[in-house]
């Protein structure tokens, strides 16, 4: 993965985007009866109502996952409950698109350069089952993340021959085994392992590197960025994932100007080393807001 890429910061990340997982197969998965799929959805996601029963594209109204939106004057809301405070709530729809063709060639070289968690034959995947939640953006980000992870669980229980999971908004590719290894871990660990990608870039003609996360922007939250030299990149990857987990668990509490624990010369967390943090535009495409961490004597690039 030593390819050179030109930056394109005209490519801007959307403020929010749909959390979608594409579960990948080498052969077309066998058809699963709608009744079987519904039982699995109910087992994992609670009480549901089948809203659309197309065999290859069913979706279900989830009674325990409700989106809340500001009520707009004159607009009709079907199946919505007026909350009496200027908002309405309605069930999120869990969608599954089953056995659709998947074209690996549509995934560009820049995205492929950041496939760190799966080293198998990506080009051998020919089919996918996609899962996503319509209206899920009207929920708290943790509920969005929970639904995302549980919909993947539904797909894997119904289609055990699946091999990998690709998340388009973050470009993260993981094996099904990698996903299952953390079944009993926290929501932060499960979501970040599947949907948030720690990317690594060397800056041409310098000793500098950038490691950032890509994924939190999907629900309007900031990613993490470290621009550095002289540190072990593997330690920095672990560091940004740890900061990402903290941000996720604690409702993104870090403010511009705050200091956070840094890394010592051995790449270990140290409470005696404090690095400053601030929000700014990302150095690497797509352009989006990141929490940039100034890593002291290891910091690279211009700082003010």
Range of the domain at 240: 197-298
pLDDT of 286 higher than 60: yes
**186/202 same-domain check:** no
Average pLDDT for residues 105-124, to the nearest whole number? 95
Domains: count for the chain: 2
| Average predicted confidence (pLDDT) for the chain | 94
**43/168 same-domain check:** yes
pLDDT digits (tens, 9 = 90+) for 177-190: 999 999 999 999 99
More confident residue, 24 or 85: 24
Does residue 280 form part of some domain? yes
Alpha carbons within 13 A on the beta-carbon side of 149: 23
pLDDT value, residue 82:
86
This prediction's pTM: 0.93
**174/98 same-domain check:** yes
pLDDT band, very low/low/confident/very high, at 79 (cuts 50, 70, 90): confident
**51/128 same-domain check:** yes
pLDDT of 97 higher than 70: yes
pLDDT digits (tens, 9 = 90+) for 25-47: 999 999 999 999 999 999 999 99
**189/266 same-domain check:** no
pLDDT value, residue 2:
61
pLDDT band, very low/low/confident/very high, at 203 (cuts 50, 70, 90): confident
pLDDT digits (tens, 9 = 90+) for 144-176: 999 999 999 999 999 999 999 999 999 999 999
């Amino acid at each position: 993965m030593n390819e050179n890429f030109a930056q394109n910061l005209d490519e801007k990340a959307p403020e929010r985007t749909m959390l979608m997982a594409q579960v990948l197969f080498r052969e077309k998965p066998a058809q699963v009866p709608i009744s079987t799929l519904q039982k699995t959805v109910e087992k994992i996601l609670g009480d549901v109502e089948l809203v659309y029963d197309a065999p290859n594209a069913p979706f279900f109204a989830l009674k325990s996952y409700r989106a809340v939106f500001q009520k707009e004057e004159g607009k009709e809301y079907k199946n919505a409950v007026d909350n009496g405070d200027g908002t309405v709530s309605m069930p999120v729809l869990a969608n599954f698109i089953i056995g659709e063709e998947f074209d690996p060639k549509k995934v560009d070289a820049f995205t492929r350069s950041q496939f760190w968690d799966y080293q198998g034959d990506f080009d051998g995947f020919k089919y996918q089952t996609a899962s996503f939640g319509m209206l899920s953006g009207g929920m708290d980000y943790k509920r969005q993340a929970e639904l995302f992870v549980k919909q993947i669980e539904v797909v894997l229980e119904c289609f055990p021959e699946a091999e990998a999971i690709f998340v388009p908004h973050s470009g993260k590719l993981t094996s099904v085994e990698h996903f299952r290894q953390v079944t009993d871990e926290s929501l932060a660990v499960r979501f970040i392992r599947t949907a948030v990608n720690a990317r690594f870039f060397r800056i041409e003609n310098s000793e500098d590197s950038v490691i950032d996360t890509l994924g939190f922007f999907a629900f309007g939250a900031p990613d993490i960025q470290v621009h550095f030299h002289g540190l072990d990149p593997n330690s920095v990857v672990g560091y940004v994932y740890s900061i990402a987990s903290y941000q996720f668990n604690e409702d993104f509490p870090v403010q511009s100007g705050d200091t956070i624990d840094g890394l010592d010369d051995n790449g270990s967390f140290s409470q005696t080393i404090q690095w400053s943090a601030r929000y700014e535009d990302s150095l690497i495409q797509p352009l989006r807001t990141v929490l940039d961490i100034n890593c002291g004597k290891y910091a690279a690039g211009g700082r003010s």
